[in-house]
Chain A
């Protein structure tokens, strides 16, 4: 492709990415180093409501000459990050006489990080395996059955994540249909939303169920391009089915396995819908949920935008670290900086 044509094709996407991704990201980065507050003063007010009148000292924002609320923005360096990561508490926890991991699990960020990481790392192999198994079995199914089977397997992926999580929740919460069935089958009382680990298992199950079809479609498409010659050669050499899978099919799928893994790591690290859908926040929280919670205004309209920005940046750093090994591999596969031609 000529350079000029290339630039013409890529430019619109680059502009959109700069305007909609890079700039907001820089703005969030900047906000994470500042705190903006309304300047407050204590005033004495007489307030009346249906239950009586009270004269009390209340905090009210200071207004400037133009009647607008005076806001002060100040540089706080890494204070917002410190508020989230609490390095002092961590150091104390692991110093002599500290409570160790128990104290760490008490800090929201590490609690969220623990869940986010296990969630990501447990679902990854499961999604790959289930996707591959589905693809291989559909590939061997009768031609006439393939269409309907593919359609049915794709359904979970089509459902909006939050709606999917809510429907699973309703199947299990209280005496939901499936809990009632389990209770009848096991002849004991079951409360799946009463403790953390059952909710966590439900969330893992839900994510695998929801994302495996994506892996399946990608792998199934790739299976159509496996070289039949290589397969036949392997057959003649006496390779068993497992050996053909191991030495012919998997190497052929390898780049796509990396691709699916990349996408899944990125998505799973930002786990959010499950926490809301399963109302898991009493037991399990994720990094993305933390950012959301900080941004949510309370009854009095307060939002912790500075800490939310820091939390968002930390999530991005986490995704980058997680993807680094896979990205390096992809980079190598494509011949480093060389375009590979």
Chain B
């Protein structure tokens, strides 16, 4: 039939083109077992899931709201997805539910080449395979700092001094950007700052421990920074700050490493090559960078057959194989020894070497993060004192923790 043929030819051509595209790496096996994955949707996941599709019978759902679906979907019998993309925090509910499987035997069989630090262990079990790390760190416009003879700031006091100078020079709309959106983002900034002051968030009895001089100092520093930000900082998330950078509106920000690649994306960015990356500023001079380290990786559901799990693991290994990562060096800070870290990795690496802690993910921390996100804005808008705000955070945490059975 003629019409079908007309339609089919371009499709075939497109398919061939896809395979011929640079960046496509033929899979070394043909996958026959259907495998599905639920993960976040940022660039790195697009790269990895794209590569996994080449092996066939693979279906990925990339969704930034994955964390609201994942625990229930994995607890189902059989699990709604074979593979899951997780990070430090989102691993906790899956681990607690027991809905992900130990990967030790699969690592022995198919993953001998994995680096030791890619194996996420819970006691003796390998429960996840990490593929990349992520952290918030300092990004700054090298050209602006050079013009004004400012050295890249190492502490937040230096950031404030630099911001003052940049504002006086009037070269950008706002000297600073910040992921201060009320909710998860704002809470994360507080956690960075507070841990940078060597603060303890939750004590050994799971009681909140942040209404103290350090907590108040962290809040005060955050407020001093907001003076140099777009006054709409309470609605500004990572994407917003990334765009402010790309459009040349800000000169410095403490932003996620996963956003670094976007600075040099000529299609969106007007500042290609002008943004440099350094360790997150310290709050105490000489202290650890005020940021937390994160990893992203994959888990396999318990409630799937062993054959499905094995197929999923082999797909995973192809998705994070060296040829795939080498072709996408700037998409993330990959955990691999196949190539030297890309330019975008500098900030996160420096933060890690400077002694920044990893995010202290736990059931209790999830509750505290929510309590922080819902209450901190009151201090920044001037509605409440730092002390009252932190008292509210602790009260909200205690209510939630009692309901969750943590206290």
Contact = CB atoms under 8 A, between A and B. Distances in A.
B105 interface: no
A300 B401 CA distance: 12
Nearest to B89: A299
A46 B322 CA distance: 29
B206 interface: yes
A296 B117 CA distance: 32
Contacts of B367: 298, 300, 302
Given A196-B381, A282-B381, A302-B400, A61 B96 contact: yes
A10 interface: no
Contacts of A53: 121
A145 B14 CA distance: 50
B403 interface: yes
Interface stretch (B193-201, B265-273, B356-364): B356-364
Contacts of A60: 96
A318 interface: no
B147 interface: no
Interface string A306-317: 110000000000
Given A282-B182, A299-B361, A47 B121 contact: yes
Contact of B232 (A39, A80, A83, A191): A191
Contact of A301 (B92, B123, B374, B380): B92
A231 to B, nearest CB: 51
Nearest to A80: B403
Contacts of B403: 35, 37, 80, 83, 304, 306-307
A108 B365 CA distance: 21
For chain A, the bracket of interface size reads 35 or more
Contacts of A80: 403
Residue among A46, A59, A69, A298 with max Cβ neighbours from chain B (10 Å):
A298
Contact of B399 (A39, A83, A301): A83
A174 B366 CA distance: 31
A37 B206 CA distance: 16
B181 A279 contact: yes
Given A40-B363, A59-B363, A296-B68, A282 B235 contact: yes
20 contacts: A49-B295, A49-B358, A59-B206, A67-B98, A69-B97, A191-B230, A194-B232, A195-B381, A281-B182, A282-B377, A297-B93, A300-B93, A300-B361, A300-B366, A302-B363, A302-B367, A302-B370, A304-B403, A304-B404, A306-B403
